Each structure stands twice: as structure tokens, then as C-alpha cells.
Chains A and B, each alone.
Chain A
């Protein structure tokens, strides 16, 4: 998966978002910083689109190797 698949908010998050994982809204949207984080990620089941397993696997390896934005590796 190329970087074009990332949302803008992901780029904004970067490494700081990893460190602040329990407070994701704080680093993604100031307006929601005071909001109570949801327990679970909202997930749209009705419009489910099957995952591309190979593309996901490739990106997983690339992330492990530190080759995505915000990684020091």
C-alpha cells in the first residue's frame, strides 16, 4: 500500500501519536481533545470491503522495517 492510502490525520499523528496511544484524539484533532475516547473503534460493517491480504502483508513488513512516515528506523 502506498502512502497515498493514508489519511491526512495519520501523517499529522506520526511518532507522537504512538507515544500518546491512549489519547489518540489529542494528537489528531484539537477540538476533540477533551472528549472521552471511545472504547472501540467505530466500524462500518454494512459496507464491508474485503481486505487485500497481500497488500496488508507488504505494508506490515515495511512498517516493521521502519519505512513509513514518522518512524525513526
Chain B
């Protein structure tokens, strides 16, 4: 993404290393907190001054989208993608790994790498057994492809004067407006707007087994 912007604006975005946000891999240095794909996109949009609705739209999309799509594989199959960088234009071997076809998909239901990747693994046991641990990197590399494509599309929409709802899962707002997490009955007010139900599976009024 930064590479695209740098090509257009070398005197500003060209000063930022393309790999600046690689630390987000594995949910920041592999600890499983926010997914690097989700975080990197917000970092770019924040620097660009994008409205909150677009940033929210991006994060909400991440939460509810089946990931990874097969777009990277289909792009490879199109024959129009000549790998760049140090690949020497080569697919496979020492070049760019060929995306696997029809990898399993899962909804992250969260912006956390921990939930996103674990949910995917829960539906990918057979896939991993067949394709080995490299299938994890295949999944995450295609996640990056999907995230950057979505990010660029959103930015183009914003710059063209378009609008988005930026709506998160309504369960979050309902929870925060409730007596339970609205800070009106002694409970701590729930912070943030990330999807709650992946971790808090019980009804409002229960104690979530914490």
C-alpha cells in the first residue's frame, strides 16, 4: 500500500519504508493481538486523514469477511502477475510462493490475530495436515492481499467523494448501552467497539465467566 502511494507521491509517502508495519505480523511480533492487516490499514488511513467511518468500515469488514478469499490464487492464475521485488519475476522455488487454491475460509469475528487465525485453524485441520505449516503463511499472505485490496478500494471511494456506513456489529452498541456495560450499575464501562461475542458468549446480565 505504501509502495503504491510512494510511487504517486515520492516526496511524502516515498519517505516511509514499505515494510514499516511488518512488526504487525502475527498480531504484533507474533503475540496475537491486533492483526497486522487490520492495523496497517488503519495506520495508512489515519495518516491520510480518512474519516472515522472509513476506518470503521475497514475494521468491520475485517471482522465479518470470510478470509482468505481465493483472489490471490486467481490473480496468479490470470498470468498477468509478474512477481516483483527480489523474486526476479519467478513463481515458486526461490521466487514468490504460489498461492494455494481454494484454501479454507473463516470469519475472524474479531480484529485480533489470535481469534482470526485460530478460527481459521479450527476449520483447516485437514488442510494443514495435507499442506503443512506453510499453509499458515499462505493464509496470512492472502489475508494481506485481501486487506490491501479492500483498503485501496475504500480509499479510492473516499477520495471520490463516496460514503460508507462504518457500522460495527450492533451487538456492541447494544451491550455498551445496556445497564450492564453502560457504567450505570457499578460494572466497568466496556471500552472500545470491537466485536464482543467471540469471547463473551453469555447473555447480558451474566458475568461472562470472568
Contacts and interface: CB of A to CB of B under 8 A. Distances in A.
A56 B84 contact: no
Nearest to B148: A60
Contacts of A40: 47, 49
A41 B20 CA distance: 14
A51 B4 contact: yes
Given A57-B148, A70-B19, A62 B96 contact: yes
A13 B17 contact: yes
A15 to B, nearest CB: 8
Q: Which secondary structure dominates where chain A touches chain B?
A: helix
A62 B141 CA distance: 8
B14 A9 contact: yes
Nearest to A16: B17
Given A24-B16, A57-B148, A61-B142, A1 B84 contact: yes
Contact of B159 (A25, A48, A62, A71): A48
Nearest to B72: A61
A47 to B, nearest CB: 9
Interface residues on B, range: 35 or more
Contacts of B192: none
Interface in B86-143: 86-87, 95-97, 99, 137, 140-142
Given A44-B12, A58-B75, A58-B81, A5 B1 contact: no
Given A57-B146, A57-B149, A67 B85 contact: yes
A62 B14 contact: no
B22 interface: yes
Contacts of A42: 11-12
Interface string A34-45: 000000111111
B18 interface: yes
Interface of A: 1-3, 5-7, 9-10, 13-15, 17-18, 21, 24-25, 28, 40-45, 48-65, 67-71
Interface of B: 1, 3-20, 22-23, 25, 47-49, 71-72, 75, 81-87, 95-97, 99, 137, 140-142, 144-149, 151-153, 155-156, 159-160
